[in-house]
Chains A and B, each alone.
Chain A
Amino acid sequence: MVGTSLSQQLENYIQTMHDQGILDYHFDHVKALQNEENPRFLMEVISMFAHDAEAGIAHLTTLLNSAVVDFAKVISFVHQLKGSSSSIGGVRMALACRQIRHACDNMDKERCLQLLERMKQEYNSLKECLNIIFEMERSIVVANETRHRQP
């Protein structure tokens, strides 16, 4: 009996992430951009998102741990992180970013630092999810490439 295909396993995993509230339907829109002409698109966007997010979080950590916080710069990085996390469907990370923005509006450094830790936790959950999707996608791409090479 044929086991669950790699693609079906991936779909099942994505649905689980939907059910857990880690991903929303924006992820599905991004995934739908992948096609035969660009079979690695989803892997590329996941890598790009993670790279940009980690750089942004590092900047935020430095800024918020400064003696005098430049809230305008903090807002700029929070804005970028919210935009990119929303765009990949990372709804809980996006919500955490929104909360940091509110704390910035109140110039509340302590609250910002608390929320930064929460945002990092949400990013780590999202990253773990996206890494699993990345690896599943890579397996699918390799399997397809192997199949196409067979006579």
Chain B
Amino acid sequence: MAPAFPSGDDRADFGTGGHRQFSFHDIVLRNRLTALVVDGVDFCRLVEQGFLRSCGLETQGVNNGDAAVELIASGAKFDLIIIDMFLPVMDGLETTRRIRALGERCKIVGVSAYIGENDREAFLAAGGDVFSEKPVSPEVLIPILRELDGQYSNI
């Protein structure tokens, strides 16, 4: 049985310069994994793709939901999609719904700079899997990547 993924709320608050449980280099992938990053802020997308690449993933990035949906509709396959909830034009929730409506079943992680009261529930209802405050931390991402890579043994 696969372990439950930590949510953004499960992250420990490490404070400023405190001890960190994970770094993005704390994983060695056995398989080729791909990820799509959907973030309208160029700087954030650069950093998010950087984190994923440092974990060994191949990544693509787009800056809006329409481009993400078009990419999936064209047949592009990803093991992981990271979607910012605050996208220009079509927001992250609608982007998630449309990706799921295309039949895409990969892991979708929603990220947001500001998490409101019902945001997590809305994202899960839209078909997302894990919701995290931005920036996504290794404590959230590494367990997800290990599961995608098949690094957890079946019980």
Contact = CB atoms under 8 A, between A and B. Distances in A.
Interface of A: 15, 18-19, 21, 23-26, 28-30, 32-33, 41, 45, 48-49, 52, 76, 79-80, 82-84, 86-88, 91, 94, 97-98, 101
B50 interface: yes
A101 B114 CA distance: 9
B118 to A, nearest CB: 14
Interface stretch (B41-49, B72-80, B97-105): B41-49
Interface in B49-70: 50-51, 54
Contact of B41 (A15, A24, A30, A83): A83
A25 B134 contact: no
Given A83-B84, A101-B114, A29 B41 contact: no
A76 B43 CA distance: 16
Contact of B113 (A23, A32, A41, A79): A79
A109 to B, nearest CB: 19
B47 A87 contact: yes
B86 A83 contact: yes
B16 A84 contact: no
20 contacts: A15-B17, A18-B16, A19-B16, A24-B15, A29-B24, A29-B138, A30-B47, A79-B114, A83-B41, A83-B86, A86-B113, A86-B133, A86-B134, A86-B135, A87-B43, A87-B135, A88-B43, A88-B47, A94-B113, A98-B114
A29 B133 CA distance: 16
Interface string B107-134: 0000011100000000000000000011
Interface centre among A19, A33, A87 (most CB of B within 10 A): A87
A56 B47 CA distance: 18
Contact of A33 (B14, B50, B114, B137): B50
Given A25-B16, A32-B25, A101-B114, A52 B41 contact: yes
Interface of B: 14-18, 20, 23-25, 40-44, 46-48, 50-51, 54, 84, 86, 112-114, 133-135, 137-138
A7 to B, nearest CB: 18
B51 to A, nearest CB: 7
Given A45-B46, A79-B113, A79-B114, A32 B16 contact: no
Contacts of A19: 16-17
A32 B23 CA distance: 9
Contacts of B15: 24
A33 B54 contact: yes
